[in-house]
A and B are shown apart, each in its own frame.
Chain A
């Protein structure tokens, strides 16, 4: 049986605005407010159904659009979702790294101080920039200044290989950097050496399914450096939880992966 646990889903998305795999033109014609309300309903029902404590959420469209349509490019919807979900949302701000450095910094400061964002989300593959490029330094400068963890997509893309994670992590050792998907099933051999090289690297589990890799990570680096995520929210949560419950690690280590690691990194009491 799957135990009742304290769970934080460290990797979630709201979808208001542009999407990566758009297949219907009609969808873009629907009023974004209408889509936002659907998303609020979807998140509320999901949290109620599965009893997950918190979700770290970013908006997909902020990563897809190169030129933003509003001051914060859709991040506003995450802030508004947070207001509607009774404190369950950990807002992750997606900066537009193609904007001037001073503008990036100004907007991140606003995101933190005005909208209450708790972390940064980067998607180098979707947005098409190398994770360690100097255009991203202003983002990490602000992450360091406000103690914001940075979650970034990893896996098969020249823009976000584990080596680039190591490079930026060594440049900003005070910033916790979370490797979303832990290389999936393509860059999985890079995960262990990357974790060895940079102590401020963490892993997020969605998309990766290799049980023995995660067991080795826990054994060598500790479960404190692994965060559970779904890349949802979606109805495969029981399956994703079963994957963690089936690991050959201790019960306490499972608790760290499922919630305590994220609580520590995002400073949730």
Chain B
């Protein structure tokens, strides 16, 4: 796999890289700027260019496209089972949301759930259906990734509160507060089952502050440059802000453990 990035390692020691947050279709932050929809081939090409081994993928775009997006992701995962890990995008306002959850997680082997409170108009701690979704997430042992950093829908304190209420669920805070929420680290320290994902928000604290497997790399591609988001982790590693073990965990090993994937360490 050819890489266009520079990190403090030789080709033989290349870290395992798992991008915890990508989309096909579009993303919440692209869909009102351009009408483009990104294909699975474009995602795979970008992963190859950046040296990304695997990626968690969910559908993205306009809210009414959700069901179509999930079907696209299912098709993508079937075509690239060794590269892509399916996350099902769920809208708690849909009457059949739990049926969709069962179908994609139990029947089709998706490994996670993606929620977008801002885009789908529901508020963490104020949406009863979420409790049913989290109960199923606990039952199926899959993480729940949720967009963060947007008041009043999904801010750090809400994440910590619901993580306390559902200790068996692993919550992933996509964007680590989106560079806006200044309460992320303190909230994350309150609980153990809250993971910070780095896209846009960056690495707010190294794992030695929060605990092993508490920070995972994500790009939110195609919103951002996948290469640039990945380079940020390499830059922190090169500068000494991260130890080698921390950097390798963030780049992929932590997310692999969260998803119970077997990868070469």
Chain A residues engaging chain B, CB cutoff 8 angstroms: 1, 21, 155-156, 184-186, 188-189, 207, 209-213, 216, 235-240, 242-243, 246-247
Tell me the number of A-to-B contacts counted with CB atoms below 8 Å. Answer: 75
Instruction: Kindly state the separation between the CA atoms of A55 and B222 in the bound complex, as whole angstroms.
Output: 30
Chain B residues engaging chain A, CB cutoff 8 angstroms: 4-6, 29-30, 32-34, 36, 149, 175, 178-180, 182, 200, 202, 222-225, 227-229, 231-232, 234-236, 238-239, 241
Contacts of B235 in A (CB 8 A): 235-239
Instruction: Kindly state the separation between the CA atoms of A239 and B30 in the bound complex, as whole angstroms.
Output: 20
Contacts of A247 in B (CB 8 A): 225
Instruction: Kindly state the separation between the CA atoms of A21 and B179 in the bound complex, as whole angstroms.
Output: 14
Contacts of B202 in A (CB 8 A): 236
Given known contacts A184-B180, A185-B178, A238 and B6 CB-to-CB distance under 8 angstroms: yes
Chain B, residue nearest A210 (CB): B29
**Cross-chain contact of A184 among B179, B222, B224, B227 (Cβ < 8 A):** B179
- Please name 11 further chain A to chain B contacts, defined as beta carbons within 8 Å, in addition to the given A184-B180, A209-B229, A242-B227, sorted by A numbering: A185-B175, A188-B29, A189-B32, A209-B224, A209-B225, A210-B224, A211-B225, A238-B231, A239-B232, A246-B225, A246-B227
**Cross-chain contact of A186 among B6, B33, B180 (Cβ < 8 A):** B180
A243 near B225: Cβ-Cβ < 8 Å? yes
Instruction: Kindly state the separation between the CA atoms of A66 and B38 in the bound complex, as whole angstroms.
Output: 48
Chain A, residue nearest B180 (CB): A156
Given known contacts A213-B33, A235-B235, A207 and B179 CB-to-CB distance under 8 angstroms: yes
Contacts of B239 in A (CB 8 A): 235
Chain A, residue nearest B223 (CB): A210
Contacts of A1 in B (CB 8 A): 4
Minimum distance in angstroms from A236 CB to a CB of chain B: 5
A242 near B180: Cβ-Cβ < 8 Å? no
A242 near B32: Cβ-Cβ < 8 Å? no
B34 near A239: Cβ-Cβ < 8 Å? no
Contacts of A156 in B (CB 8 A): 180
Interface hub of A185, A216, A235 (most chain B Cβ within 10 A): A185
Instruction: Kindly state the separation between the CA atoms of A246 and B221 in the bound complex, as whole angstroms.
Output: 12
| 3 nearest A-B residue pairs (beta carbon) | A239-B231, A235-B239, A243-B228
Contacts of B228 in A (CB 8 A): 209, 239-240, 242-243, 246
Minimum distance in angstroms from B242 CB to a CB of chain A: 11
| A–B Cβ pairs within 8 angstroms, 7 of them | A21-B182, A209-B228, A211-B222, A216-B34, A235-B239, A238-B6, A242-B225
B229 near A239: Cβ-Cβ < 8 Å? yes
Instruction: Kindly state the separation between the CA atoms of A42 and B42 in the bound complex, as whole angstroms.
Output: 40
Instruction: Kindly state the separation between the CA atoms of A216 and B32 in the bound complex, as whole angstroms.
Output: 12
Contacts of A239 in B (CB 8 A): 228-229, 231-232, 234-235
Contacts of B32 in A (CB 8 A): 189
Instruction: Kindly state the separation between the CA atoms of A213 and B223 in the bound complex, as whole angstroms.
Output: 9
**Cross-chain contact of A209 among B4, B5, B149, B223 (Cβ < 8 A):** B223
Instruction: Kindly state the separation between the CA atoms of A239 and B149 in the bound complex, as whole angstroms.
Output: 22
Interface hub of B5, B225, B227 (most chain A Cβ within 10 A): B225
Instruction: Kindly state the separation between the CA atoms of A240 and B235 in the bound complex, as whole angstroms.
Output: 10
Chain B, residue nearest A243 (CB): B228
Contacts of A185 in B (CB 8 A): 29, 149, 175, 178-180, 200
Contacts of A243 in B (CB 8 A): 224-225, 228
Minimum distance in angstroms from A5 CB to a CB of chain B: 15
Contacts of A212 in B (CB 8 A): 30, 33-34, 36, 222
Chain A, residue nearest B226 (CB): A246
Contacts of B29 in A (CB 8 A): 185, 188, 210
Minimum distance in angstroms from B10 CB to a CB of chain A: 17
Contacts of A211 in B (CB 8 A): 222-225
A210 near B30: Cβ-Cβ < 8 Å? yes
Contacts of B178 in A (CB 8 A): 185-186
Contacts of A240 in B (CB 8 A): 228
Contacts of B182 in A (CB 8 A): 21
Interface hub of B6, B231, B241 (most chain A Cβ within 10 A): B231
